[in-house]
Homo-oligomer: A and B are copies of this chain.
Amino acid sequence: MKIKTALPMQDTGSQTKGALTRAAILDVSLELASGKGLEGLTIGSIAERMHMSKSGIFAHFGSREELQVEVVREYFRRFETSIFQPALQAPRGLPRLQRMLDLWMQSRIRELNSGCMFIAGAVEFDDCPGAVRDELVNSVQIWRTALSRAIGQAIEIGDLRKQCKPDLMLFQIYSVVLGLHHDVRFLKQPASIKLAQQSIQKIIDENRTPQ
């Protein structure tokens, strides 16, 4: 909403105003989706929060599905900006992999109150073929491919053992993040944050080339 009220509307052209409204709708939608899930996102609830009519929302997003897809894309853009891009600044090999995992874990822990759209979406849409599911799978696979690549580079460089199996290591790491989300959000066991951190460290240590 900040975006919408920060600039006086009369000073902006209608195209800019449209873009700002669209961005504000996405902002509110992201917030709503993080509480109630993508499936809980309705045009009605967004219209209410935006003090707009439903048709006003439809003027920016042709359908609920289109809006959901855009929400997933926006969520992924933020994920890229806060995790992906900063991690690429670290040197190739274990430092970069470690940085990716650190930033990812930190963001998961920060987001434990609202939940992760990719983890929640995985369950919400596992049985629902369509554009939203495709976009979710696409986003998750981009991130998993990046993690795999970082593991592969760490093996090439010699930071991780030659025997390290990237698919197994990725599976174990991703499982730990799912476990963290499950225990803290569902079981309300914050002690699992430490267990998740220990588990990630353990996975790295057992694959690390002995010094």
Distance, CA A136 to CA B185, complexed state (A): 13
Chain A contact residues (Cβ within 8 angstroms of B): what range? 35 or more
Cβ of A47 < 8 Å from any Cβ of B? no
Cβ of A196 < 8 Å from any Cβ of B? yes
Contacting residue for A171 out of B39, B115, B167, B199, CB 8 A: B199
Cβ of A181 to closest chain B Cβ, rounded Å: 8
Within 8 A of B (CB), among A162-203: 167-168, 171-172, 174-176, 178-180, 182-183, 185-187, 191-192, 195-196, 198-199
Contacting residue for A168 out of B37, B167, B168, B195, CB 8 A: B195
Contacting residue for A192 out of B39, B124, B171, B198, CB 8 A: B171
Cβ of A126 < 8 Å from any Cβ of B? yes
Given A119-B123, A120-B123, A175-B176: 7 more A-B contacts, CB < 8 Å: A122-B123, A123-B124, A125-B186, A126-B186, A168-B199, A175-B199, A178-B178
The 5 A-B residue pairs with the shortest CB-CB distance, nearest first, are A175-B179, A122-B186, A123-B123, A178-B178, A126-B185
